[in-house]
Amino acid sequence: MAFKIIASQCTQCGACEFECPSGAIELKGENYVIDPKKCTECEGAFETQQCASVCPVPKTCVPA
Amino acid sequence: MTASMISLDRSASAKTSDNRLTNAKSDSCKSSSCGSTAKPDDMDPATWEKIKDHPCYSEEAHHYFARMHVAVAPACNIQCNYCNRKYDCANESRPGVVSEKLTPEQALRKVISVANEVPQLSVVGIAGPGDACYDWRRTKATFEKVAAEIPDVKLCISTNGLALPDHVDELARMNVDHVTITINMVDPQIGAKIYPWVFYNHRRYTGIEAAEILHKRQMLGLEMLAARGILVKVNSVMIPGVNDEHLIEVNRWVKERGAFLHNVMPLISDPAHGTYYGLTGQRAPRAIELKALQGRLEKGAKLMRHCRQCRADAVGLLGEDRGKEFTLDHIPDAVSYDERNREAYREVVARERGNHAAAKSEAIEMVKAAGPDGSLHVAVATKGGGRINEHFGHAKEFQIYEASPRGIAFVGHRKVEQYCRGGWGDDATLDGVIVALEGIDIVLCAKIGDCPKKRLADAGIRAVDSYTYEYIETAISMVYATEFGVDLLTGTA
Ligand code: SF4
Ligand code: SF4
Ligand code: SF4
């Protein structure tokens, strides 16, 4: 299982990138994207998905 | 390059040979004012040393020195109801707004280009669009690069305070002398109405719990900074019906904890910005409400009255924004810092501000001595340097002064839409300017045409352009004396 970023809503603030414990988020060109192979949904690391918890825009970091 | 080639005029290029200082008739050093400083009597020399070139911390310095913000820190760890970081509009001037986010490397290039072109530059700040302390890696990398290239430039940051305590030691080590914390409440019940959530210790908190965490961290950060002698400015956003009365208590709390300045700013809540407050119809305070609140806070922490609520990528003197001239596409790929312009400018200012300080205290004494109980509200068009040197039609803002038997005091500024564009004036714009000048008795400017002058006169505002290049306070004292029919002591000009 993995999370994804809805690119059209993202403000490119980059907070999710440095909060992600799995290093799954990267800026690719204009957009931040989550690598589904690396995303662990923060299982074992934190209680909540870090990207979704820090993202300023509702429903932007969501289950893929 | 010699000092005489540098102009105090903000719009003049550093390379100009047109020496406006000579025009400004101040180069002949008055024997009485030589060696005098502009330091206010009630300030200790160490503090004055820290703020004397900082346009935001010293009202006096804001006539001479410029700041620039580099937008390297877009990530934030809280949500404020007055902020929407998605929105950017080039015509908009408000904190949090930027057109271009920069990497630390790009920021360094921009700082060097500005330092070469704008000799007034004295401060490089990081004020978002997110939080400078949360997005710490970028803030730190930027400061280290800038300090290595331009060691004498002052560094400052703005923060919401949540991550601040984690970085106070590093800030002190990097010689960051100035930190602005936005503190809108000391009561979490009120905080819960301003902040929907905070992200702290890897989770999102909401409601009162969120506001409590933020409050504790803000107070801790403030105390830690004060203990290290770092000057703290507290910014508060005045939100009518939410925290307006409460800001009196905020003022008391922050003063007790060592805040140097308190800056109360009006909420900006245009629905078009898409903020929570904008969309829910929360109104902004009227200018008169803001002034009344500032009046009640006067006895607490020292108030700042010259804040322009600038964009997070603003460049230039406080009343202007030259940010558009320095976007990345205007900056060469390789830049190298040339310290000569800034050094020459500082020499000119050192001389000039001594003269200005002397002229200012002379003018204030004169107004006090004039004795009658008259009061005058004066709007001044200036490009900086503490002088009347801007055309009425070119002014984008007026600086407002009040002259009364208590002296001459700066009370704030009023923004206007520039009336004259490329030689023609627009009547509708002039109407707007006249509305903005409500309550003003006299406008002092370098030049004004007959037509706008007459329109102002019809609205009961006199425009005077006979004090061109004079110091603001000197001109006001002369107008005051004429107005109230007192004889001036001779030898003033
Ligand atoms: S859910 Fe967790 S692991 Fe997956 S991208 Fe978001 S922060 Fe990274
Ligand atoms: S935190 Fe949200 S808005 Fe910020 S970069 Fe990540 S997805 Fe985009
Ligand atoms: S927002 Fe206010 S405090 Fe910050 S730089 Fe602008 S004028 Fe100074």
Tell me if chain B has a CB within 8 Å of the CB of A14.
yes
Kindly state whether residues B183 and B291 are assigned to the same domain.
yes
Kindly state whether residues B188 and B260 are assigned to the same domain.
yes
- CATH number for position B452: 3.30.420.130
Whether residue B14 is contained in a domain is answered as no
| pLDDT score for B140 | 95
pLDDT tens figures, B304-329? 666 656 655 666 666 666 777 777 77
pLDDT tens figures, A18-38? 999 999 999 998 899 999 999
Alpha carbons B260 and B383: distance in angstroms, whole number: 28
Whether residue B12 is contained in a domain is answered as no
Residue A48: its chain B contacts at CB < 8 A?
Answer: 202-204
Alpha carbons B117 and B134: distance in angstroms, whole number: 31
Kindly state whether residues B87 and B200 are assigned to the same domain.
yes
Task: Calculate how close chain A gets to B93, using CA atoms only, in Å.
Answer: 19
Which of B146-160, B205-219, B459-473 ranks highest by mean pLDDT? B205-219
Whether residue B129 is contained in a domain is answered as yes
Kindly state whether residues B389 and B462 are assigned to the same domain.
yes
Tell me if chain B has a CB within 8 Å of the CB of A56.
yes
Q: Ligand 1 within 6 A of A32 CB?
A: no
Identify the residue whose C-alpha is closest to ligand 2 atom 2: A55
Q: Which residue of B has its CA nearest to A48?
A: B203
Kindly state whether residues B425 and B314 are assigned to the same domain.
no
Give yes or no for residue B350 having a pLDDT over 80: no
- Closest CB to B76: pick one of A12, A13, A50: A13
Kindly state whether residues B277 and B393 are assigned to the same domain.
no
Coil vs helix vs strand at B56: coil
Share the mean pLDDT of chain A: 93
Kindly state whether residues B139 and B280 are assigned to the same domain.
yes
Quickly list DSSP for B342-375: HHHHHHHHHHHHHHHHHHHHHHHHHHHHH-----
Kindly state whether residues B182 and B216 are assigned to the same domain.
yes
Kindly state whether residues B164 and B290 are assigned to the same domain.
yes
Tell me if chain B has a CB within 8 Å of the CB of A43.
no
Tell me if chain B has a CB within 8 Å of the CB of A7.
no
Give yes or no for residue B447 having a pLDDT over 70: yes
Residue B336 CA to its chain's centroid (Å): 28
Show the domain range for B112. 43-330
ipTM for this prediction = 0.95
The predicted model gives B458-467 an average pLDDT of 91
Whether residue B412 is contained in a domain is answered as yes
Whether residue B396 is contained in a domain is answered as yes
Task: Give the mutation target among A3, A11, A20, A34 for probing the ligand 2 site: most ligand atoms within 8 A of CB.
Answer: A11
The predicted model gives B73-100 an average pLDDT of 68
Whether residue B159 is contained in a domain is answered as yes
Kindly state whether residues B61 and B108 are assigned to the same domain.
yes
Whether residue B84 is contained in a domain is answered as yes
Q: Which has more confidence, B226 or B486?
A: B226
Q: Which residue of B has its CA nearest to A58?
A: B79
Task: Give the mutation target among B92, B238, B310, B313 for probing the ligand 3 site: most ligand atoms within 8 A of CB.
Answer: B310
The predicted model gives B333-337 an average pLDDT of 81
Domain boundary among B330, B365, B392: B330
CATH of domain A3-63: 3.30.70.20
- CA of B208 from ligand 3 middle (Å) equals 29
| pLDDT score for B12 | 40
pLDDT tens figures, B109-142? 989 988 888 888 888 988 868 899 999 999 999 9
- CATH number for position B185: 3.20.20.70
Structurally, how many domains does chain B consist of? 2
| pLDDT score for B311 | 59
Kindly state whether residues B315 and B402 are assigned to the same domain.
no
Tell me if chain A has a CB within 8 Å of the CB of B204.
yes
The predicted model gives B405-409 an average pLDDT of 86
Kindly state whether residues B320 and B361 are assigned to the same domain.
no
Q: How confident is the model at residue B98 (pLDDT cuts 50, 70, 90)?
A: low
| pLDDT score for B372 | 67
